[in-house]
């Protein structure tokens, strides 16, 4: 059976980063985009990093351009945008596909372990559901991630304990992380 520590991600410079380097840490994995309605979530994600990194939190920010082309820039341009507009200090990984035939195996694994359960109730969430369904038709049964800023929380033992859709309250994400630190 696979473990989160069996996977690697590409750093922005293209080097492999084994997740086994994060054994004993709480990890927040999030697919991001710079031109999305959820892009302002970079601010609370950065605050999580500032508040909890010294207590054992690591963040894997993995930009993705598969959702309405909302991350069109190069890895360098994305990094510059995030540091300029949100003062991010956590490391960003290389822009990566999270759906379809070219999906990064990490996201295939994460989504298999914690499948999509919906965006929640309300008109805004229903509209996102409809829009994501249209966007993800091209991926069929390989639409593992439904939209930008989907978050996975992994505990210190490598267990995937929660999946938060972009519509989830960041306070809920923080509460989950705090409970694991």
Q: What is the pLDDT of residue 131?
A: 84
Predicted local distance difference test score (pLDDT) of residue 127: 87
Model pLDDT for residues 135-149, shown as the tens digit of each residue: 888 898 899 999 999
The string of pLDDT tens digits covering residues 120-134 is: 888 888 888 988 998
Q: What is the pLDDT of residue 125?
A: 83
Domains and their CATH numbers in the chain: 4-180 (3.40.30.10)
Name the residues annotated as catalytic: 36
* Total-model pTM: 0.95
Q: What is the pLDDT of residue 128?
A: 85
SS3 at position 104? coil
pLDDT per position as a tens digit, 98-118 = 999 999 999 999 999 999 998
Average pLDDT, integer, range 36-51: 96
Contact yes or no for 29/151 (Cβ under 8 A):
yes
Q: Cα(180)–Cα(19) distance, rounded to whole angstroms? A: 18
User: Cβ neighbours of residue 88 under 8 Å, at least 6 residues apart?
Assistant: 42, 45, 46, 49, 61, 82
């Amino acid at each position: 059976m696979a473990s989160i520590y069996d996977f690697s991600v590409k750093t922005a410079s293209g080097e492999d980063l084994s997740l086994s380097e994060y054994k004993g840490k709480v990890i927040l994995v999030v697919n991001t985009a710079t031109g999305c309605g959820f892009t302002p979530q970079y601010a609370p994600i950065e605050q999580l990093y500032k508040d909890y990194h010294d207590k054992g939190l690591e963040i894997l920010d993995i930009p993705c351009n598969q959702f309405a082309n909302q991350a069109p820039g190069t890895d360098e341009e994305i990094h510059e945008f995030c540091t300029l507009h949100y003062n991010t200090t956590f490391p960003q990984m290389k822009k990566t596909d999270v759906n379809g035939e070219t999906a990064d195996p990490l996201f295939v694994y994460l989504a298999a372990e914690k499948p999509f359960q919906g965006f929640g109730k309300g008109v805004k969430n229903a509209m996102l559901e409809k829009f994501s369904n249209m966007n993800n038709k091209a991926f069929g049964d390989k639409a593992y991630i439904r939209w930008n800023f989907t978050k996975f929380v992994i505990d210190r033992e490598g267990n995937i304990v929660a999946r938060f859709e972009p519509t989830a309250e960041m306070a809920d994400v923080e509460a989950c992380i705090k409970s694991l630190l």
